[in-house]
Structure 1
Amino acid sequence: MSTSDPAHVVRTVAGMPTSDGAGVRLTRVIGGPSLPDLDPFLMLDEFGTDKPEDYLAGFPSHPHRGFETVTYMLDGRMRHKDNHGNEGLLTPGSVQWMTAGRGLVHSEMPEQESGRMRGFQLWVNLPARDKMTAPKYQEFAPDHIPQLSPAPGVQVKVIAGQVDQTRGPIVQPATDPVYLDIELGADVAWQYTLPVGHNAFAYVFEGDLSLGEGEQARAVAHQQLAVLGGGAQLQLRAGSSGARLILVAGRPLREPVMRHGPFVMNTRQELMQAFVDFQEGRF
């Protein structure tokens, strides 16, 4: 992968309808049969509904160990609490990057009874050396997430990574992530340079666009994820109704993954120990 070579779409994936928590309806894009993972990313869920019965039950208390959860709210309000005394409210445009580390038990419950609830949750793996670190949060309200217009008709919210001279507030040295919310006007084109060596994907949640240059350009439809490969220069061009997408990249860990439910470790023994520790109240 070169900084001057064009990036292209390796494959596209459609999400799979599912439910999680206490019956919250969502679309699983990474973590299903068609794309089990994309190192270091373990799961991507999109949730979006106007029907309160699809989200009101929320995500009651549940444990995590060995990875990070990233919640990005587009619409709605979600209250989180954990067994370490941490509590916060995610509002539209806010992001929470939670490092579960050696373990915590938390809940994520809607703080609304009607209206639209929409957003994403991404799971990012941790390297073996960091799996048993103390839990921590990086949580930012919308006014702390920089937004810029790097070209006419282009709006970018920089959650992690860098666009021109603007850096996002999230920092994670292990995977050096990029997380951008990009909005393109109708037929607008823009080019972004991905970090060399990172695995990357784009997920289109409004409109449609094409990714890549020339004969390698490939259409990506609404609610499709594009796995990216090749070089670092990614050409984006919106369709006739514009487009909005998240562009995410991270340094792959290239370590063994042993996972079951809310625990992600490197060996079967570590995974079994996670269950024992949780059951014995050591989270």
Structure 2
Amino acid sequence: MMETKERQVLQKIQGARTVDGAGVHLVRVLDNRTVGPFDPFLMLDSFDSQNPDEYTAGFPLHPHRGIETISYVYNGKMVHKDSLGNEDSITDGEVQWMTAGSGILHEEQVPAVKNLLGVQLWLNLPAADKMAPPMYHSIKQADIPEISLPCGKLRLLAGSYNEHPGYQSRYLPLDYYDIHMNPHTTLTLDTDAYRSVILFTLVGNIRIGNETIAEKTAVNLSAGNTLTLDNEDTPAQVLYMSSTALHEPVAWGGPIVMNTQDELRKAFSELKNNTFLKEKTTYK
């Protein structure tokens, strides 16, 4: 029988306010300075605003290669359009999953709502899959199991939780949970000892062991096969992400993430000479 080993906090990152796209105000929590400890999670942007002027300019047409972008809009709406011809929108509690692979152009518009709340995650692609065909998929409300727990509830955005299946990632395994905890409650999760596990406190504070994790903080955790979350005085909403670390070199330039500087230079050269897209484009 495997000995129980509790995961502990290795690092806490609160991020910094920045402006991206055409003028979208956000908090960038993970970036190219956190690649090693948070492998294979690359970027994490947090959106939390009651002022539409801070985000309705959106993200005009831009490229990606070598990654997957996973947007979770808990409150609000996001409208997607890409070079494959996909046009789609996600709304309260839904997920937009885009595999950039060999290259894609897309734009994201964020219409005004009372309170925008959500995150965008960049998940690295393994070297063998960097040039995979690009793909878009949205995970709608009907495809997201909502599981009652003694502490509150868990929304299964991707992967699996115990016997409950959700959307399955094609390249890297990803368990992605939106955990809602009532005040003064505890949740213990069994975790794959060989997985990389990170958390992000979207709303409220929690404790892991003796560490208090403030709202809007990302943490990476030590190895282990169990994790205990303790909530404090107010409701908390915690995003749990578990995947497999790649331990591969990362060459990151803006919206493109490859393994070598030569691959990165080639990608930007192809953007310049209009040979970036490897799949038929229908973008207008």
TM-score, normalized by the shorter chain, greater than 0.5 = yes
The answer to whether the 8 Å contact 2:30/2:44 transfers is yes
Structure 1 contact 159–170 (Cα < 8 Å) conserved: no
Q: Distance in 1 between matches of 2:191 and 2:87?
A: 34
- Tell me what 1:55 maps to: 55
* Distance in 2 of aligned mates of 1:262 and 1:206: 28
Deviation at 1:3, TM superposition (A): 6.8
Q: Is the 8 A contact 1:138 1:170 kept in 2?
A: no
Of 226, 232, 236, the match for 1:243:
236
Higher strand share: 1
The question of whether the paired residues in 2 share the 8 Å contact of 1:3 and 1:233 is answered with no
Per-residue CA deviation, residues 105-146 of structure 1 (Å, 9 max, x unaligned), is 100012x34522221100011011111111012311112111
Q: Which residue of 2 aligns with 1:210?
A: 207
Mapped partners of 1:134, 1:3: distance in 2: 42
In 2: Cα distance, 1:8 partner to 1:266 partner: 30
Tell me how far apart the structure 1 counterparts of residues 24 and 236 of structure 2 sit (CA, whole Å). Answer: 26
Q: Verify: 1:198 aligned to 2:198, yes or no.
A: no
**In structure 1, what is the equivalent of residue 174 of structure 2?**
177
State the superposition RMSD in angstroms.
1.5
Contact 2:32/2:42 (8 A) holds in 1: no
Distance of 1:194 and 1:109 partners within structure 2: 36
14-23 vs 151-160, greater mean Cα deviation: 151-160
> Aligned match of 1:161 in 152, 159, 162?
159
SS in 1 for 2:235: strand
The residue aligned with 1:94 is: 94
Counterpart residue identity of residue 222, structure 2: G
Letter in structure 2 aligned against 1:25? H
* Structure 1 position 75 matched with structure 2 position 75: yes
Q: Counterpart amino acid of 1:208?
A: N
- Deviation, structure 1 residue 171: 2.1
1:138 is matched with 137
Query: Which letter does structure 1 place at the counterpart of 2:205?
Result: D
Q: Distance in 2 between matches of 1:153 and 1:265?
A: 41
User: Residue in 2 aligned with 1:261?
Assistant: 254
Letter in 1 for 2:189: Y
**Match of 2:282?**
none
Aligned residues with identical type, % of pairs: 36
Return 5+ residue gaps in structure 1 as ranges: none
CA distance in 2, matches of 1:41, 1:239: 27
How far off is 1:207 after superposition?
Answer: 1.6
Distance in 2 (CA, whole Å) between partners of 1:194 and 1:104 is 34
Q: Distance in 2 between matches of 1:3 and 1:211?
A: 20
Distance 1:134 1:220 in 2: 38
Structure 2 gap segments, 5+ residues each: 278-284
Q: Using the TM superposition, give the Cα deviation of residue 211 of structure 1 relative to its aligned residue in structure 2, in angstroms.
A: 1.4
State the SS of the aligned residue for 2:205: strand
| Secondary structure at the counterpart of residue 275 of structure 1 | helix
C-alpha contact (below 8 Å) 1:154/1:190 kept by paired residues: no
Instruction: Determine helix, strand or coil for the equivalent of 2:5.
Output: coil
Secondary structure at the counterpart of residue 230 of structure 1 = coil
Q: What TM-score do you get using the length of structure 2 for normalisation?
A: 0.92
Aligned residues: 274
Q: Secondary structure at the match of 1:7?
A: coil
TM superposition shift of 1:87: 1.0
Give the aligned partner of residue 280 of structure 1: 273
Q: Does 1:125 align with 2:124?
A: yes
User: Which TM-score applies when normalising by structure 1?
Assistant: 0.92
